[in-house]
Structure 1
Amino acid sequence: MRRVLKRKGSDASETGRAQEELRASMFSNFSPEKAKNLQQRLCIPSVALTFNFVVAIGIIFMNKWVLKNAGFHFPVLLSFIHYVVTLALIAILNTLSLIPPSPPLKSTPLFTLGLVMSLCTGLANVSLKYNSVGFYQMAKISVTPTIVLAEYLWYKKKVSFPEVVALAVVSIGAAVATVTDLQFNLFGACVALSWIIPSATSKILWSSLQQRENWTALALMWKTTPISLICLLIMIPILDPPGAFSYSWNYINTSMILISGVSGFLLQWSAALALGATSAISHVVLGQFKTCVLLLGNYYIFGSYPGTTSICGAFVAIAGMSFYTYLNLQNGKLKSGKQSPRKVHDQETKDTNVPDAFNGQPI
């Protein structure tokens, strides 16, 4: 028995050492920069945007079923459950060593991102509760010029005149297609206006941290989700009605809420991938495209007639989105075909400082 126990103990220790070596090799192979390059190769803009589009359409119907058919009238608590499921799934991935190490960064941008993400979710639900759908859509459309202005002030990023025309066509078409009434009260209007800045800030930070700081989508979610959870937990008693504990938590309702939570994880992941592969403005344009597709889909599939004006506005918005996508593709080709003089100088400097294979000195 002593020999058997000793052999089992040695086998267990060898297995543990093998697992640690495997985990160390995985982390060394997937450094932040390599993981970011792998994400960019696998999730090209078309794949990331399509993934986000499909998941967003699915979660709309899922949340509609939970909030209406299941009688779960707690939107902020539902967002909190989404983030809890997201954190649990990311923790499993982190335990399996499938999340690369995070690049060095101060905690201030991460805290800001987690805070604005929770504010964006909570204030959007409150705005939809107190305002009409038309005013809510107008607030969403105003996010586009806010992002353009914020990126110019922060990063000196300029938008060309054809892109401004395309974005204006998209915004006008989406407004004509979706804005049917502008009924609101003073408190709802203040909430809607206060939602615009966190929404624009969250998209800019998601895109900037991935493109400038070598963050991957999952690594960024792993760091910011706990912050969003704490902020949502504070907002639940303020924004949600009472009665969550007396809700009928039966098997069917709980299962649908958990499925909605998994969909929320996929939505956040796909949105992060789309923001890392494209830009904040492109993600907003994609959101308006989803709205127009839902409007036209309800008309052609379910026979819901929104009116000739709304249908024409949807087609105008889609035309503007197509033109904006064409401009982005042309700019991408120009950037890939041309190399800046600074990069050329850095490459030449790098080539001249390559160590000699024989004596280790620069050639």
Structure 2
Amino acid sequence: MGLLDCLVGAEGRKSIKRKDSDAGEAGKALEELRGSLYNELRTAEGAKRQQQRFCRPVVAMSFNFFVAVGIILTNKLVMGKVGFNFPIFLTLIHYTVAWLLLAFFKALSWLPVSPPSKTTPSSSLFTLGAIMAFASGLANTSLKYNSVGFYQMAKIAVTPTIVLAEFILFRKTISFKKVLALVVVSAGVAVATVTDLEFSAFGACIAIAWIIPSAINKILWSNLQQHANWTALALMWKTTPITISFLVALMPWLDPPGLLLFKWDINNGSAILVSALLGFLLQWSGALALGATSATSHVVLGQFKTCVILVGGYLLLDSDPGPVSLSGAVVALAGMSAYTLLNLKESKESLNKQIPMQDPVSKTKSSENGSDGSTVTNTTNEV
């Protein structure tokens, strides 16, 4: 110890103590940060704040966009090359895998806390779970019996349905400029997909029946997250079992016979499993996007995917959809850009309204009075 003291010296010992103290303070600060983050996730309000903090609208919609493109390609493989032509059962596999993953998160305490039951009626959760089964199941069935173009044409009708339903349910209105932008988007998508309108009578009925559940599903997801402190994962955990039970009931009515004759092997099973994992990510990313934006914005995002795939195929893959379809896609993208800019402008204006503008005169008075707060308070009360 004496040799160490000689080599290090008094200043060296002080430096070592300071370093040990700094390391101890850094470790203490890290533990406090972990503890505060854990406590934040233990309440519904804190979990919602964390979701809003880390998942901004641009992040949520980008996440949903890339996952949606991936699952479109995967489902084409599953229903085409693999030959798994059972859309309701495929949707059931998606939600079953999602529920198993959520149960795993729950066991590891990674699942955000749900709001108190008294804040959200159980009937609302049951309704959302049931509608989600019809919206997802009928969407996949429509894709099976109709062309992609007719499916997109049916999706156009979801936009005015959402606007009308939000006005009836919540008295929510949108500006005239937004209405014009949505009309441009719808017209552009209609022109872009008009060359691919193959459908059957049964497929057309399925597409029409899908419109209302799809609109209500998006509205409920958005409303419960934005006004009832629900996070995407917590809401998925509560509603997925209900959705699974309704999908089981829909299978005998909408799926064709022959499920037990399907050839299960490693390749087919792997493709279906990848589709199911992407289905979980699609549900999660869609819920995040609905919580961060609105139901109408989410529909516009879906139409944006169609136009990007159409234009991207022409530019990168030498596909030739024709000048009419390309012109419609460009017009739709222009309308989407205008709608996005109007949303950003309204968000900025609402944020400025939330920040109170301080009067310079009152600010001067408060600085002159200094610590004499009681005098200012009494004067204000008298006035």
TM-score band (shorter)?
Answer: 0.7 to 0.9
Q: Who is 1:6 aligned against?
A: none
Q: Determine the C-alpha separation between the residues in 2 that align with 1:129 and 1:259.
A: 19
- Following superposition, the deviation at residue 191 of structure 1 comes to 2.2
Deviations 1:287-306 (A, max 9, x none): 00000011111112221101
Instruction: Check conservation: 1:80, 1:233, Cα contact below 8 A.
Output: yes
- Following superposition, the deviation at residue 186 of structure 1 comes to 4.1
Q: Who is 1:237 aligned against?
A: 252
- Following superposition, the deviation at residue 332 of structure 1 comes to 0.5
RMSD: 2.1
- Closer, same or farther: CA 29–197 of 1 in aligned 2, 3 Å: closer
Q: Who is 2:12 aligned against?
A: none
Tell me the secondary structure at the aligned position of residue 216 of structure 2: helix
1:34 aligns with one of 46, 58, 69: 46
Tell me the secondary structure at the aligned position of residue 326 of structure 1: helix
- Following superposition, the deviation at residue 235 of structure 1 comes to 1.2
Deviations 1:97-151 (A, max 9, x none): 1112211421111111111111012222333333444332221001000000111
2:64 aligns with one of 52, 59, 63: 52
Percentage of matched positions with identical amino acids: 59
Q: Who is 2:318 aligned against?
A: 303
- Closer, same or farther: CA 185–90 of 1 in aligned 2, 3 Å: same
Q: Which amino acid in the other structure matches residue 76 of structure 2?
A: K
- Following superposition, the deviation at residue 27 of structure 1 comes to 6.0
Deviates more, 1:295-304 or 1:264-273: 295-304
Q: Determine the C-alpha separation between the residues in 2 that align with 1:155 and 1:90.
A: 31
Instruction: Check conservation: 1:27, 1:101, Cα contact below 8 A.
Output: no
- Following superposition, the deviation at residue 29 of structure 1 comes to 4.7
Q: Who is 2:267 aligned against?
A: 252
Q: Determine the C-alpha separation between the residues in 2 that align with 1:28 and 1:332.
A: 26
- Closer, same or farther: CA 250–183 of 1 in aligned 2, 3 Å: closer
Instruction: Check conservation: 2:48, 2:231, Cα contact below 8 A.
Output: yes
TM-score where L is the length of structure 2: 0.80
Deviates more, 1:185-194 or 1:225-234: 185-194
Q: Determine the C-alpha separation between the residues in 2 that align with 1:94 and 1:252.
A: 30
Q: Who is 1:5 aligned against?
A: none
- Following superposition, the deviation at residue 187 of structure 1 comes to 3.5
Q: Who is 1:145 aligned against?
A: 160
- Closer, same or farther: CA 98–168 of 1 in aligned 2, 3 Å: same
Q: Who is 2:83 aligned against?
A: 71
Aligned positions, number = 321
Q: Who is 2:219 aligned against?
A: 204
- 2:311 matched to 1:292? no
Q: Who is 1:313 aligned against?
A: 328
Q: Determine the C-alpha separation between the residues in 2 that align with 1:133 and 1:39.
A: 33
Deviations 1:276-330 (A, max 9, x none): 0000000000000000011111112221101101001100000000010000000
- Closer, same or farther: CA 29–49 of 1 in aligned 2, 3 Å: closer
Q: Determine the C-alpha separation between the residues in 2 that align with 1:29 and 1:87.
A: 20
Q: Which amino acid in the other structure matches residue 69 of structure 1?
A: K
Q: Determine the C-alpha separation between the residues in 2 that align with 1:333 and 1:295.
A: 32
Q: Which amino acid in the other structure matches residue 76 of structure 1?
A: I
Q: Determine the C-alpha separation between the residues in 2 that align with 1:120 and 1:203.
A: 10
1:277 aligns with one of 278, 288, 292: 292
- 2:114 matched to 1:109? no
- Closer, same or farther: CA 272–297 of 1 in aligned 2, 3 Å: same
Q: Who is 1:344 aligned against?
A: none
1:171 aligns with one of 161, 180, 186: 186
Q: Who is 1:261 aligned against?
A: 276
2:93 aligns with one of 75, 81, 93: 81
TM-score where L is the length of structure 1: 0.84
Q: Determine the C-alpha separation between the residues in 2 that align with 1:29 and 1:125.
A: 35
Tell me the secondary structure at the aligned position of residue 245 of structure 1: helix
Structure 2 unaligned regions, length at least 5: 1-33, 357-377, 379-383
2:232 aligns with one of 217, 224, 229: 217
Q: Determine the C-alpha separation between the residues in 1 that align with 2:163 and 2:197.
A: 25
Instruction: Check conservation: 2:225, 2:231, Cα contact below 8 A.
Output: yes
Q: Which amino acid in the other structure matches residue 161 of structure 1?
A: F
Q: Who is 2:366 aligned against?
A: none
Q: Determine the C-alpha separation between the residues in 1 that align with 2:73 and 2:146.
A: 21
Tell me the secondary structure at the aligned position of residue 354 of structure 2: coil
- Following superposition, the deviation at residue 183 of structure 1 comes to 4.9
Deviates more, 1:44-53 or 1:292-301: 292-301
- Closer, same or farther: CA 151–40 of 1 in aligned 2, 3 Å: same
1:157 aligns with one of 149, 167, 172: 172
Q: Determine the C-alpha separation between the residues in 2 that align with 1:115 and 1:30.
A: 28
Which structure has the larger Rg over C-alpha atoms?
Answer: 2
1:92 aligns with one of 98, 104, 108: 104
Q: Determine the C-alpha separation between the residues in 1 that align with 2:196 and 2:272.
A: 31
- Closer, same or farther: CA 75–262 of 1 in aligned 2, 3 Å: same
- Closer, same or farther: CA 337–258 of 1 in aligned 2, 3 Å: same
